[in-house]
Amino acid sequence: MLSKNQLGSSELYVSEMGLGCMSLGTEEKKAKDIIKQAIDLGINYLDTADLYDFGQNEEIVGKALKGQRDKVVLATKVGNRWSSGRDGWEWDPSKEHIKSGAKESLRRLQTDYIDLYQLHGGTIDDPTDETIEAFEELKKEGYIREYGISSIRPNVIERFANSSSIASVMMQYSMLDTRPEEYLDYLHSKKISVVARGPLAKGLLTSTWLEKAREKAQDKGYLDYSYDELTELLAKLDIANGDRPLQSSAFHYCLAHPAVASVIPGASSEAQIKANFSAIEYPPLTDSELSDLKKLLKQSHYATHR
C-alpha cells in the first residue's frame, strides 16, 4: 500500500510514487491501460503537461480518467507555447497565456478543475508578479486547487518561494543528480514540497543499468560522471544494495528527506508500472543505509541561475 504525503501545506495528499505521463505515448488503449494499472496499484498522482505530444497527452489522460476523476490528484503544466509550425516552442509566462492555457487544459482533460497547475520552467527575467497573479486568480475562480513550479533554477525557485503561495517545486532529483539537496531543507522550512522527477536517471538506476549506461552515457557520461565513473559507481551501488533492487534504493533515497512528497517516474508499459510499484514497496532506507549510499555519491551543485 502506497503511503500519501501532504503537498506543502495544501489539502492535497499525493501517493509517495506518482506517474509521469510524458512517456505514455500516443497509442490510446495502451496509455489508458497503463493509467488504469497505476490507479489500481494505489497511485493517485498523475502528472502531465500541455506541451506533451501537442496536447494529445492531456487528452488521453482525460479520457482515461472518465468515471474515476475523483481518485486522482491531477497535475499539469503551462508556460510553453508551440510555434505555428510545431517545430519548436517559445516561453510565455504571461498572465494572458497562463489563464487561457488553463482553459485549454481543462478542455483537453475533460475536467472542471486542475488539482495542481505548474509553471513549466521560468527565468529570472519573467514578469513574476503577473505570473503569480494569474495562478492566484485561477485558484480563486476555482479552476485550480493549488499551483507550483517545475524548475531547477535556484533564482527562480527562491523568487517563488518568497513571493507566492506555491505548494510544490518539481525538480530533477536522483542519486546521480544531487543538486536539489542544497534546497531541500530551505523548501521544507517554507512548507513547500518537492516532487522528484527523473528519480531513476533515465533508467540508469535500475537492474538494467549497464545496458542503459552503454546506451545513454557511453559518449558523454551523465551530468558530473564520466562513463567510466558511472559504471564503477553503479556497480558499487548494486553491491551496496544487497537484496534490495537498485530501483528501490533510487526511490527511497529521494523520499528520505521530508521535503520530498512524491517521486514520479515515467512508464511506457504496464510492466514498468508493476516494477516501479514492486520497488517502492520495500521499506524506507535506514539512516545507516542512506549514509552508506551518500558516501559513494558526488554532491553536485547548481552552477548557473544563482
The cell numbers describing 138, all together, are 485561477
d(CA 24, CA 182): 32
- Strand, helix or coil for residue 210: helix
d(CA 214, CA 49): 30
Rounded to 10 deg, the angle between the 95-109 and 128-140 helix axes is 40
Question: Would strands 45-47 and 19-20 be described as parallel, antiparallel, or unpaired?
Answer: parallel
Choice among 52, 117, 173, 253 that is catalytic? 52
Residue at grid coordinates 503569480: 132
**DSSP annotation string for 231-294:** HHHHHHHHHHTTTS-HHHHHHHHHHTSTTEEEEE-B-SSHHHHHHHHHHHTSPPPPHHHHHHHH
* 44 to 9, 56, 194, 213: CA distances (angstroms): 18, 21, 17, 31
Q: Is 143 a catalytic residue?
A: no
| Catalytic residue set | 52
